[in-house]
Amino acid sequence: MKKHQILGTILLSLAFFLVTLNLPGQEVEARGVEFLKKAVDQVSEQNIMASIKSLQGFKTRNLLSEQKADHFGLGAARRWLIKEFQKIPGLEVVDDGYRLPKQGGRIVQDTELHNIVAIKKGKATRERIIIVNAHYDTIAVSKDGKFHYEDVNTEAPGANDDASGVAALLEMARIIAPLETEATIHFIAFAGEEQGLIGSTLYARKMKQQGKNVEAVLTMDMISNIKAGNGYIDSTRVRVFSDDPNDSPSRELARYVKRVAEQVYPSFEVNLIYRADRFGRGGDHTPFVLEGFPGIRFTEARENYSVQHSTLDTIENLSVSYGADVTRVVLASLLSLACGPEAPQVTSERGTPLLGRGQGYDAELRWKWSGNRGNLAGFKVYMKDTRSPYWERVYFAGTNESFLLKNVSIDDWTFGVSAVGTNGLESLVSIYRMPPRRRAEYTFEEIK
């Protein structure tokens, strides 16, 4: 890095620090961090290991595998999962089932698909939903090293892909279930991911059709490998993928996760990848993003492609301690979202951003907030260069629903606003986004 680039980075960091240093309510925010740290400290590596071993023990969890056996196949895994969630007081467990006729190249026979949903009800008057998920189905190549979708009983232990995510899901449910949350949480183990994100596609469509207020979707898929096939090891970072553009709700959700998780668990880095998913691949957050909901994917920093979708994907090839670290990162983010206030609304009823030019050369921000005023500490206004990956300046706006930035052009900066609760936890940042222009249509007659 060149000297002027280093200096620029230092100055930007200092500017951010100086702007945020004297924000009112820092004692309140510290209380929120302590609350999250207590929850993170409860994550049990032993619980996670036991869950992975149990799921691996079903030999395969292929969507089309045996449904009625007691200790083999997807049906046995499904019944085990339901019982595990039912052991946790405070959860409503739902078997979200579908019949799938034979279709396409991957569903080579009629089958059933069952998403397992454990619901932790929140106390907010207007229902807010956060979805945290993993997939419990598996797949593996046949002996010739190729996928044969009719070979449904090939051993596919799927310890990392994605028993690791399901184990984290169960552990977070155990920790959060006794707590009081504002938002309702759906802990979901999806099926049919390996056949083309089927379970998550059906559930996302249902949420959209029912008009549900899904604030965030957090997908965990392959979160316990630290050593790549080329020998590189990375045990202190997790990748978080989020879709374009730079001011999209998914991108802002990713920034929120990094900001919260690294404050609560500073020994672990959240590496934001500004891409929908790994190149040419997809995960269960994708169908939700396509339906207009914010969604991100957590995946280990290093993948071992020689183990994926094979009989070698066993617990012996994992780092359960690393998976526990990733669980702590997701838990801190999830709990902060669920216990924090709802985000402000920054658009009018017509969808127009509530952002104006003040007297012509100022940035005048307005917003609406319908939460419980008794639990509101105030609002924060965020600001960054349109090209910047992170927020650069933050101001405390008190409990007013407007803020004026003198001599700041609304054309050159991106703005956002969040709500901070008296418990010290913060909402997602609502970004002022300009709706895309529509192509104009005119009636005319060409002159020849």
Tokens of 177: 């279930």
Q: What is the distance between the alpha carbons of residues 307 and 156, in angstroms, rounded to a whole number? A: 11
Mean pLDDT (the chain, rounded): 92
Please tell me the predicted confidence (pLDDT) of residue 436: 84
Confidence tier at 341 by pLDDT (50, 70, 90) = very high
Cis peptide, bond prior to residue 277, ω within 30 of zero: no
Cβ 197 vs Cβ 283: under 8 Å: yes
Question: DSSP letters along 90-156, please?
Answer: T-EEEEEEEEE-SBTTTB-S-EEEEEEEEEE----SS--EEEEEEE-------TTSS--TT-TTS-B
Q: What is the distance between the alpha carbons of residues 215 and 373, in angstroms, rounded to a whole number? A: 20
Whether the predicted pLDDT of 1 surpasses 70: no
Count of H helices and E strands in the chain?
9, 15
Q: Which helix (H) or strand (E) holds 66?
A: none
Please tell me the predicted confidence (pLDDT) of residue 274: 97
386-402 pLDDT tens trace? 999 999 999 999 999 99
Residue 343 one-letter amino acid: A
Q: What is the distance between the alpha carbons of residues 211 and 410, in angstroms, rounded to a whole number? A: 32
Give all strands of the β-sheet with 92-100 in edge-to-edge order: 92-100, 111-120, 184-190, 129-135, 214-220, 295-300, 237-242, 269-273
Please tell me the predicted confidence (pLDDT) of residue 284: 98
CATH placement of domain 343-431: 2.60.40.10
Q: What is the distance between the alpha carbons of residues 112 and 121, in angstroms, rounded to a whole number? A: 28
363-392 pLDDT tens trace? 999 999 999 999 999 999 999 999 999 999
Whether the predicted pLDDT of 30 surpasses 90: no
Identify any residues that bridge with 396 across adjacent strands, giving them in sequence order.
380
Q: What is the distance between the alpha carbons of residues 81 and 53, in angstroms, rounded to a whole number? A: 13
Instruction: Provide the CA 19 distance to its chain's centre, in angstroms.
Output: 29
Q: Which residues of 383-412 are buried (b: 16+ CB within 10 A; e: fewer)?
A: bbeeeeeebbbbbbbeeebebebeebebee
* 261-242-160 Cα angle (round to 5): 70
Please tell me the predicted confidence (pLDDT) of residue 292: 96
Please tell me the predicted confidence (pLDDT) of residue 359: 85
282-314 pLDDT tens trace? 899 999 999 999 999 999 999 999 999 999 999
120-131 pLDDT tens trace? 999 998 999 999
Query: Rounded to whole angstroms, what are the CA distances from 376 to 103, 251, 369?
Result: 51, 25, 10
What SS3 state is found at 181? coil
88-123 pLDDT tens trace? 999 999 999 999 999 999 999 999 999 999 999 999
Please tell me the predicted confidence (pLDDT) of residue 25: 57
What SS3 state is found at 51? helix
Of 423, 364, 372, 363, which Cα lies nearest the Cα of 399? 372
Tokens of 296: 């991100």
Cβ 345 vs Cβ 428: under 8 Å: no
Mean pLDDT for the stretch of residues 262-267? 95
Looking at 237-285, list the stretches that DSSP marks H as alpha helix, in order from N- to C-terminal side. 249-264
Cβ 169 vs Cβ 162: under 8 Å: no
Residue 37 one-letter amino acid: K
Cβ 348 vs Cβ 236: under 8 Å: no
Q: CATH fold of 36-339, please?
A: Aminopeptidase (3.40.630)
Please tell me the predicted confidence (pLDDT) of residue 26: 64
Of 378, 371, 374, which Cα lies nearest the Cα of 341? 371
Cβ 242 vs Cβ 230: under 8 Å: no
Which of residues 419 and 358 earns the better pLDDT score?
Answer: 419
Domain boundaries, the chain: 36-339, 343-431
The two domains 36-339 and 343-431 share their CATH topology (first three levels equal): no
Cβ 409 vs Cβ 354: under 8 Å: no
- DSSP, res 236: S
Which of residues 350 and 220 earns the better pLDDT score?
Answer: 220
Q: What is the distance between the alpha carbons of residues 339 and 333, in angstroms, rounded to a whole number? A: 10
Of 135, 136, 123, 128, which Cα lies nearest the Cα of 57? 136
Please tell me the predicted confidence (pLDDT) of residue 6: 37
Please tell me the predicted confidence (pLDDT) of residue 16: 38
Mean pLDDT for the stretch of residues 150-178? 96
The dihedral built from the CA positions of residue 244, 116, 210 and 426, taken in this order, carries a sign that is: negative
What SS3 state is found at 430? strand
